[in-house]
Amino acid sequence: MKNLDQRGVTLVELLAAIVIVGFLTILIWRIFFQTIDYNSYAVTEQTLQQEANVILASMQSIHTQDTIQHIKLSNSGKQLDIYVKDTANPTDGKLAQSFTRSGITYQLYSTKPTLSNNIYSGTTVSSISSGTPQNNRITLPVNLVLSSSYKEGKSNSFLLSTTLSRLTTD
């Protein structure tokens, strides 16, 4: 006589359960790491934007009070220095403010760079200088790219492109 009591799990049911659990685990694992990557990207993007805002506000403040002679990169692009005109040192000027932030690299461009495949291209320069006043106006075009890595092999950048301008009293 056959035993009709079937209280066990068949091999097919066990394999189906393992496949479903494995699929769900892989799906959750992938979503978890995508969220971590996106969070790192967003934090880096926000940090670059905040740093650009601080630099722009400082440049505007300095430019309204004094004449920026030039903006210079030093320390292999890790430091951005702003020099104002100085009668004691007319060639180099006087250091008004310096920006250094861990993990951020600065690049200056002579003209607004173009963005292609997340890479900025254009003519990079180590410093930019304010031109001679024209029509009682001093202008200083600034094209600055801030870059930072948020994961090995992945980086993020932010373009600050503006022209500082003020009327002269000369």
Residue 8 pLDDT level (bands cut at 50, 70, 90): confident
Which pTM value belongs to this model? 0.76
- How far is 110 from 92, CA to CA, in rounded Å? 19
Examine residue 5 and state whether it is found in any structural domain, yes or no: no
Mean pLDDT check: name the lowest of 3-7, 29-33, 48-52, 96-100: 3-7
Per residue in 69-101, pLDDT tens? 888 888 888 999 998 888 888 787 889 999 999
pLDDT at 155: 86
What would the mean pLDDT of 135-156 be, rounded to a whole number?
A: 85
Say if residues 99 and 79 touch (Cβ distance below 8 Å): yes
3-state secondary structure the chain: CCCCCCCCCCHHHHHHHHHHHHHHHHHHHHHHHHHHHHHHHHHHHHHHHHHHHHHHHHHHHHHHHCCEEEEEEECCCCEEEEEECCCCCCCCCEEEEEEECCCEEEEEECCCCEEECCEEECCEECEEECCCCECCEEEEEEEEEEEEEEECCEEEEEEEEEEEEEECCC
> What is the average pLDDT across 129-147?
81
Per the structure, how many domains does the chain have?
Answer: 1
Domain range for 95 = 11-167
Is 1 a member of any domain? no
In a domain, 152, yes or no: yes
> 97: which residues sit within 8 A by CB, 6+ positions away?
58, 62, 81, 82
Q: Distance (Å, rounded) from C-alpha 88 to C-alpha 107?
A: 29
- The answer to whether residue 4 sits within a structural domain is no
Q: What is the mean pLDDT of the chain?
A: 85
- Cα–Cα distance for residue pair 160/107, rounded to 1 Å: 10
- Identify the pLDDT of residue 3: 62
52, pLDDT greater than 80: yes
In a domain, residue 2? The reply is no
For residue 116, pLDDT beyond 80: no
Strands 94-100 and 127-129: unpaired
Please report which confidence band the pLDDT of residue 170 belongs to, taking 50, 70 and 90 as the band edges. low
Q: What is the pLDDT of residue 26?
A: 95
Does residue 6 form part of some domain? no
128 within a domain of the structure (yes/no)? yes
The residue among 152 and 50 whose pLDDT is bigger is 50
Residues 6 or more apart whose Cβ sits within 8 Å of residue 124: 107, 108, 109, 110
Domain-embedded: residue 3: no
